[in-house]
A and B are shown apart, each in its own frame.
Chain A
Amino acid sequence: MKKLQYERPVIQRLNVGVMNKFGNKTEYSPVKHIEGNTVKSLIEKFGSPLFVISERIIRETFKDANRAFKTRYPRVQFAWSYKTNYLNAICNVFHQEGSWAEVVSGFEYHKALKNGVPGTKIIFNGPDKSEADLKLAIEKNSLIHIDHLDELYLIKELAVEMKKRPRVAIRINMDTGVYPMWDRFGFNYENGQAWDAINKIMLNDKMDLVGLHSHIGTFMLAPSAYGVAAKKLSDLALEIKKKYKKNIQYIDMGGGFASKNTLKGSYLQGIDSTPSFDQFAEAITTSILNAGFVENELPLLILETGRALIDEAGYLLGTVISNKRLSDGRRATIMDFGVNILFTSFWYDHKISPAQEFSRYTEDAVIYGPLCMNIDVIRENVTLPPMKRDDHVIVHTVGAYNMTQWMQFIALRPAVVMIDTQEKVHLIRSRETLASIEGNEIIPRYLEKFKL
């Protein structure tokens, strides 16, 4: 007689009359494949945990964003935000789609150059640009976005020293009606700091003020805030034109568009609450188009969208290590991936799908990572079918920030593969080894030996 498929026995009290606003069950079918490749075969070949990137989703999402803006505004340019995910293969997919590079450190700047991005198409943001970084960026004629006055003075000195005229923009922070207001970066619009910086650049005439930049926040759910920011930057550009007879070549709206993830504490699922690219595009382009620019002087609109372009293309495959019961009776499932590689689980309720058949029975569970640290919690409360040791799961929408903010803490970092548009799998980052971690360590000679 053929044996039946085993499922862990579960029993739950039925709470009749008590409404659960989140519903009882979120998963109706297992996710056994990603783009034609079985989860099992991917894990067998590359190990568990494993990050999987879908090239098809990246390209489709990019095209959707590009369409949303280009159908509303004549001059649009995306710049790939390196800090969101700077694995070279991923950066190059965006560069193939036409994105420039947006970097926030010397390290990222060098990465972009090495990937083959021309210096003139690199936007250099961030508060920490060393003198060497700035010299290189000036030499390569990159777009340098000035964050503070010390940087402005340094660029001025370097311009004289190098006999070059750096192309610069200033980053402007402002009140757009959302909280928190990101006023730690750049110069404030309302209190006159921005004008002060503009006057210093224009009157000194050692730099070419080519753009205005803002980045109003992260995971923004209100497109109207971008409309306010675009209006303020447009007004500033028109005032500069009036005062200095200088055309501002571009307005850079930065990034911050929300992805389809669900923020912790959010009443609605991310997929229901996240604005579309069309909504962001409508708010931004309407503000610029209505600001009063002459048609042939409309500035280039630059977007540094990161999260919303890559998050959905990323999956994390993992394996159940064990199940246990907590003191209050709740089920706890321990996975082989933790907050060390899934940093975003600190602020998202990531969707988790089992990767094998399951019945209609579910249990409330806490999902823990494998780290011997109390903070290692992936989901505080999730309803999932019973899973046993060695069962696999897929965590969805993990493409943004996890592969840059991941920590080599307690465990080694996993491999990353990309599935191309023909469903072929490519290893784009190998699993770390002890050698990759110890490569930079030096043991002083007197500490090399010991007796126990």
Chain B
Amino acid sequence: MRLKKNLALSDSGFVFDPSTGDSFSTNPIGLEIVKMLQTGKDADEIKAQVVKTYLIDEVGFEKDYYDFVNTLTKLKLSDGSPEKKD
């Protein structure tokens, strides 16, 4: 998935969608993933980065990742295009 390009992110985990006026709160790892999605990283790259940084294996992270991405879609933060690197 790709996120809306105009999302505003703060370092404290505050996410603002200027197109709807909605705001969101995410935890540090969520913010990291959102940032990576914004830069166009795909699932494999994100998984590799998280497994490298955090105490979690790939299998453990995978289900949480897809759950998080589905939540982003439900919250209408996706731009609707399939996951693909630019």
- A interface residues, Cβ below 8 angstroms from B: 3-14, 16, 323, 325, 329, 359, 361, 386, 388-389
Contact = CB atoms under 8 A, between A and B. Distances in A.
Contact of A11 (B60, B64, B71): B71
B55 A4 contact: yes
Given A3-B55, A6-B54, A325-B67, A14 B27 contact: no
A12 B53 contact: no
15 contacts: A4-B54, A4-B55, A6-B29, A6-B54, A6-B56, A7-B29, A8-B68, A9-B27, A9-B29, A10-B71, A11-B24, A12-B25, A359-B27, A361-B30, A389-B60
A325 B70 contact: yes
Contact of A361 (B22, B25, B64): B25
Interface of B: 13, 15, 22-30, 33-34, 53-56, 60-61, 64-65, 67-68, 70-72, 74-75, 77
Chain B interface, >50% SS class = helix
Contacts of A5: 54-55
B55 A7 contact: no
A388 B61 CA distance: 10
Contacts of A11: 15, 24-27, 30, 34, 68, 71-72, 75, 77
Contacts of B68: 8-11
Contacts of B77: 11
Contacts of A361: 13, 25-27, 30
A5 B50 CA distance: 11
A388 B72 contact: no
A12 B24 contact: yes
Contacts of B71: 10-11, 325, 329
B22, B30, B72 — most chain A CB neighbours (10 Å): B30
A386 B68 CA distance: 12
A331 to B, nearest CB: 9
Contacts of A389: 60
A11 B64 CA distance: 12
Contacts of A325: 67, 70-71
A5 B29 CA distance: 10
Given A325-B67, A388-B60, A9 B30 contact: yes
A173 B35 CA distance: 67
A218 to B, nearest CB: 41
A14 B24 contact: yes
Contacts of A359: 27-28
A359 B25 CA distance: 13
A91 to B, nearest CB: 45
Contacts of B22: 13-14
A9 B55 contact: no
Given A6-B55, A12-B24, A14-B25, 12 more contacts: A4-B55, A5-B54, A5-B55, A9-B68, A10-B26, A10-B27, A11-B24, A11-B71, A12-B26, A14-B22, A361-B13, A388-B60
A6 B50 CA distance: 9
Contacts of B74: 329
B23 A14 contact: yes
